[in-house]
Structure 1
Amino acid sequence: MPDPLFTDLLRDTERLTWASIDQVTHRGRQRARRTRMMSVLAAAVAVAVVATGAVVLSGSPEATAPMGPAGPAPTESTGPSAGPLRTVPTSPTGNRRPLVGAADPAVPAAAMLQEGDGPAGYQADDSEGNDDWAFTDSADRCVNPDHPLLRLVTRAERDRYLRDPEPRSNFVMQRVARLAVDDALRYQSLVLDRVESCGDKYVSMWVVAAGFAGEESLVVRAQHNAGPALFYVFVRQGDLVTQVWHNEITDTAAAVELGRAAARRLCAGTDTC
């Protein structure tokens, strides 16, 4: 007895017209061509997407900006809310030689501020100064009285006054110190750390300018209770560091100009500039 499934299959297919071998071959070739064409179109679309993305990127400011080391720009903050800088911006110095400590540590007179660098009419006075004017005096109430900044050993130092003949109470005070190379390189970072660690009911400190002169430079503003603001200028050239203070300075711009004058003079005591 025939299998019912075979009988049904025979009945359904006995009237079908089967394609010839040539027709089957032709259709297979058409399907292969369509498959290749779709692959080519997909690849072309992918290339177009990549090219379009490249064009978009090339038109953006980020893509057209020149690559390379960014030159340090002077920075300025306007008050305590700005907070102290975490690193010391350096001034553009070009290709300098590695820093080597001077064989003769003495600070030459030519490396100090000269008459004409301060206010008109101020006269140079090389009498030894005291620390009543210095940044360390303003920071003596800060936390951490044994701060590393206070433990640096100077190889040599020199003080200079530029005094107003009338009245004698107005003056510019400068101290230049030659430090060991490692201490010179970390000096202003220690100043920044001291500023950051200082702050109590007696005094507030913050950085108001940086990177404006020399290899490193800062202006620190200190405010003692309701007293006048004090501006301390710090500059480094090579292994020489200087601190300058003028009791008549009342704004950042004047402190910056004094720092630039000090930076130019320091070059007489180091071969790094």
Structure 2
Amino acid sequence: MPDPIFSDLYRDTEHLVWAPTEQVRRRGRQRTRRTQIAAGLAAVVAVGLVASGVALVRPDAAPPPVPPATVVPTPPTPAPTPSSTPSAEPSESGTPTPSRTTGRPAGTTGGGSTSRAPSRTIPAAAMLQLADLPTGFTMSTGKVDGDWSLEFMASLCVNESPTLADGEIATRSVAFNSPSDWIVQRVTRHSGTSATTVMKNLRTLVKGCEMEQPGDSLSIMAESLGGDDGVLVGSDVGGRPGRWLVVRQGDLVAQLRLDSQTTPTEARRTARSVVNRLCAGTDTC
């Protein structure tokens, strides 16, 4: 007796029309290709989402945890800087009055540090100008030749003389000519307090000089002529007089060869003009 399961199967399939074998194979190949294309598209979409940083989540999924807040350190408050208001100096009445140099320290006599970085040049404005001299002079700039300086006079001393170039970092010269006179000025800048040392060496040179020839002399004729320090030096070599004015203002030292008959009073007036010009190259005025 046939098994009831096979009897039912025969009954259900007795009148079925089966598709040809080739058609069945073709449909199978089409289904396989659709499956492969769908899988490829899914892979492309997944790669695009990852590259763009988009995450797919279920609608009912809990949102990702919020990262803890990052504490950004507060930068330290900068220390207050000195204001550029004028410094005050006590007046004779006891009430402070502004100094001449706005935003800069008042003048010092030591040639020390100032409010701006030390310069290694000397501006032309720090030199004497034609307006400072009597009429009839002309100006020539650049290197000034000739044995006119006190350093040359030191070569006439039999004993060793101290240097006048201690700490020198810059120099500038100018000469003025007239039909009857010749004035030469050289301004040097010195590092630190070397300008003060130069003035000390100047006095040592003059006072300690032992001239080669009897009757020749080198002497200090006047002091405190202007600026932080001012000295008039006189000489008599072979019966011919000479005059040099040396003035210090801050870290600048000006040496001038003047007319051989210049008096201390005349040298003082010239020193005032020299100092006024030097103030264009130093903060100590």
Q: Name the TM-score class by shorter chain.
A: 0.5 to 0.7
Percent of aligned pairs sharing the same letter: 31
Q: 1:257 to 1:249 in 2, by over 3 A?
A: farther
In 2, are the aligned partners of 1:233 and 1:243 still within 8 Å (CA)?
A: yes
Does the alignment pair 1:155 with 2:169? yes
In 2, are the aligned partners of 1:219 and 1:252 still within 8 Å (CA)?
A: yes
- 2:276 alignment counterpart: 264
Does the alignment pair 1:240 with 2:252? yes
SS of the residue 2:283 aligns to: coil
SS of the residue 1:208 aligns to: strand
Does the alignment pair 1:109 with 2:124? yes
Describe the superposition over 1:104-128 as per-residue Cα deviations: whole angstroms up to 9, x where unpaired.
2100000000012122221221131
- 1:217 alignment partner, one of 225, 230, 242: 230
- Listed as ranges, the gaps of 5+ residues in structure 1 are 1-93
- 1:135 alignment counterpart: 150
SS of the residue 1:269 aligns to: coil
Query: Greater share of helix residues, 1 or 2?
Result: 1
Following superposition of structure 1 onto structure 2, how do residues 175-254 of structure 1 map, counting pairs within 5 Å? 175-202=186-213, 203-227=216-240, 229-247=241-259, 249-254=261-266
- 1:269 deviates by 0.2
SS of the residue 1:110 aligns to: helix
SS of the residue 1:260 aligns to: helix
- 1:206 deviates by 1.2
- 1:51 alignment counterpart: none
In 2, are the aligned partners of 1:143 and 1:197 still within 8 Å (CA)?
A: no
- 1:100 alignment partner, one of 94, 113, 136: 113
In 2, are the aligned partners of 1:205 and 1:223 still within 8 Å (CA)?
A: yes
- Listed as ranges, the gaps of 5+ residues in structure 2 are 1-104
Describe the superposition over 1:55-93 as per-residue Cα deviations: whole angstroms up to 9, x where unpaired.
xxxxxxxxxxxxxxxxxxxxxxxxxxxxxxxxxxxxxxx
In 1, are the aligned partners of 2:221 and 2:232 still within 8 Å (CA)?
A: yes
In 2, are the aligned partners of 1:124 and 1:162 still within 8 Å (CA)?
A: yes
- 1:126 alignment counterpart: 141
The residue type equivalent to 1:207 in the other structure is I
- 1:173 deviates by 0.2
Higher relative contact order (CA 8 A, sep 6+): 1
Following superposition of structure 1 onto structure 2, how do residues 18-57 of structure 1 map, counting pairs within 5 Å? none
Separation (CA, whole Å) in 2 of partners of 1:116 and 1:126? 15
In 1, are the aligned partners of 2:140 and 2:175 still within 8 Å (CA)?
A: yes
SS of the residue 2:130 aligns to: coil
- 1:144 deviates by 3.0
Count of matched residue pairs: 175
C-alpha RMSD of matched pairs (Å)? 2.2
- 1:50 alignment counterpart: none
In 2, are the aligned partners of 1:216 and 1:235 still within 8 Å (CA)?
A: yes
The residue type equivalent to 1:156 in the other structure is A
SS of the residue 1:268 aligns to: coil
In 2, are the aligned partners of 1:111 and 1:267 still within 8 Å (CA)?
A: yes
In 2, are the aligned partners of 1:205 and 1:220 still within 8 Å (CA)?
A: yes
In 1, are the aligned partners of 2:158 and 2:212 still within 8 Å (CA)?
A: no
SS of the residue 1:192 aligns to: helix
Separation (CA, whole Å) in 2 of partners of 1:139 and 1:110? 30
Q: Of the two, which has the highest radius of gyration?
A: 2
In 1, are the aligned partners of 2:174 and 2:184 still within 8 Å (CA)?
A: yes
More displaced stretch, 119-128 vs 249-258: 249-258
- 2:81 alignment counterpart: none
Q: TM-score, normalised by structure 2?
A: 0.57
The residue type equivalent to 2:202 in the other structure is V
